[in-house]
Amino acid sequence: MVSRTMPPLTRLTLTNEIRQAQQILGLAALQLLVCAHLDGVLAIALSLITIAIDQAQDTEVLSELGWAYSLGPNGSRAILSAIASSMVSVATTAFSITIVALQLASSQFGPRLLRNFMQDTGNQVVLGTFIATFVYSLMVLRTINGVEENEFVPHLAVTCGIGLAIASIGVLIYFIHHSASSIQVDQVVRRVGDDLNQAVDRLFPEKLGQGKSIGLGELHPTDIPRNFERDSRSIPCYCSGYIQAIDDSQLMKIATQHDLLVKIQPRPGRFVVKGSAIAWVFPSERVNKLMIAQINDAFVMGAQRTEQQDVEFSIDQLVEIAIRALSPGINDPFTAIRCIDQLSAALCYLAQRDIPSPYRSDDNDQLRVIVEPITFADLIDAAFNQIRQYGQSSVAVTLRLLEAIATIAHFTHRSADRVALRRHAEMIERGSRQEIAEEFDRQAIKDRYLAAVKAIELA
């Protein structure tokens, strides 16, 4: 029996979440450092180009231009020093604001969502601009010579430095607005919803009624040899971790070259332990150490899940935001409702797509690879189960779940999908009778339940 409210986080759970946040913050800092390094290289190149132009052109000609900097070496040193020192201070402040924003997002939305913030192009451009301006100022500052016999002031280079400082002020204004808006719940939910829609497009590219892709022919379980379970050999995993991606073309190549049938045990997003089976190969007598290594190379393993081949990853992110919002410490059903809206939109989109066949054939229509299938019912379970369990006592969340089911039903074309929706509608309505005491609230939920069932039957 699932409790009515989310249990409070223990100290151990908080410690684990802080550690996860620290790890992802480290990755964010590393990515921002790489971006700043690249911008620094570009700044060095720009400084060398402008200094070379100053050395090749007559200084008096450049000083006569109305927009060019024309003061002497002391003034040039002063203005470049001011630009360099201010850029260091501003970059430090901006990076601190980013870290604070990531920590706030971690506590409110969960540490797994921090990957979305560290991939933010705006933050990378802002910090890169500050670092580039600082590096450029130092590179130009070193070339200024105040000795009368060899006096040299790169007027064009100093002018470009002033231009970079003015551009940095504009970037700072953008950064203040961007940092404030990027951690708003609406923006976070919308961004994760966009990632989910992109994953649906990438993993379920075919709409109902269109032709099937090559290699996804009309194969059936009867094409599997009867002695497959008895005469197949398991392929052990070389390391523990999450399966981030599977190179199915490499597995198809191995199976075709050696006349094998390969059954992939877990699908992307699953955690596997070192030594456990990640695939089964038939017939077993053709398996050798080299083949085991080649099959392991087709699996991309990592310490965390990614959305590349795992459509459930983005679903779980939205679910995590929703159930955190439903916890007693936050008690924000409006955020949970926004997550339900994004999930229902993606599921409506997915209901119109063909579910890829788990059976992969070669060019001769010979069954070669079997993958663990993912069904619409699996994704419905991933989207609604935990929200239903943690939101049973919330009338608003319960009503929106039933409305989402009715909306999704209009887009379904498979009977199995409608059966899954009907099952969830019944569980939601049954849970409301146990958790909600007010009779009028139960009647409102009953009406929405009947409307959802009618929509399912008419689909």
Per the domain annotation, does 318 fall within a domain?
A: no
Is the pLDDT score of 42 beyond 50? Answer: yes
User: 160 in a domain, yes or no?
Assistant: yes
Return the structure tokens found at 29. Answer: 């800092």
Within a domain: residue 62?
yes
Give the per-residue pLDDT at 22: 42
Residue 330 has pLDDT above 50, yes or no: yes
Residue 3 is predicted with a pLDDT of: 37
How confident is the model at residue 236, as a pLDDT? 92
Please report the pLDDT score of residue 451 as a whole number: 94
Q: What percent of the chain has pLDDT over 90?
A: 27
Which whole-number Å values give the CA distances from 334 to 147, 258, 288, 325, in the listed order? Answer: 69, 56, 56, 8
- Could you give the strand order of the β-sheet that contains 277-282, starting from the edge strand earlier in sequence? 233-236, 277-282, 261-264, 367-370, 359-361
Q: For residues 241 and 262, what is the distance between their CA atoms, to the nearest angstrom? A: 21
pLDDT score of 349 more than 80: yes
Residues 281-295: pLDDT tens digits? Answer: 998 888 888 999 999
Instruction: Report the number of distinct structural domains present in the chain.
Output: 1
The tens digit of pLDDT for each residue in 266-275 reads: 888 899 999 9
User: Judging by beta carbons within 10 Å of its beta carbon (0-12, 13-18, 19+), is residue 142 exposed, middle or buried?
Assistant: exposed
Residue 97 CB burial class (10 angstroms; 0-12, 13-18, ≥19): middle
Q: What is the pLDDT of residues 90-115, one digit of tens each?
A: 888 877 877 777 777 777 777 666 66
* Within-domain flag for 235: no
Burial of residue 352 (CB within 10 Å: 0-12, 13-18, 19+) is middle
Which segments of 89-240 are extended strands (E)? 233-236
* Residue 77 within any structural domain of the chain: yes
d(CA 60, CA 151): 13
Q: Which two tokens stand for residue 353?
A: 């797509």
Please indicate, yes or no, if residue 159 is contained in any of the structural domains.
yes
Q: Establish if 310 belongs to a structural domain.
A: no
Range of the domain at 128: 11-183
> Phi/psi of residue 301, each to 5°?
-105, 155
Question: What is the DSSP track for 321-374?
Answer: HHHHHTSTTT--HHHHHHHHHHHHHHHHHHHTBPPPPSEEE-TTS-EEEE----
Query: Angle, nearest 10°, between helix axes 333-351 and 311-325?
Result: 160
Give the burial class of 189: count Cβ atoms within 10 A of its Cβ; 0-12 exposed, 13-18 middle, 19 or more buried: buried
* H or E element at residue 185: helix 185-203
Residue 102 Cα distances to 28, 211, 322, 325, angstroms: 9, 45, 19, 18
Cα gap 449→65, rounded to integer Å: 76
Is residue 86 a part of any domain in this protein? yes
CA angle in degrees (0–180, nearest 5) for 340-344-349: 155
Higher pLDDT, 57 or 193: 193
**What is the model's pLDDT at position 309?**
86
Query: Which range in 40-54, 121-135, 230-244 is most confidently predicted, on average pLDDT?
Result: 230-244
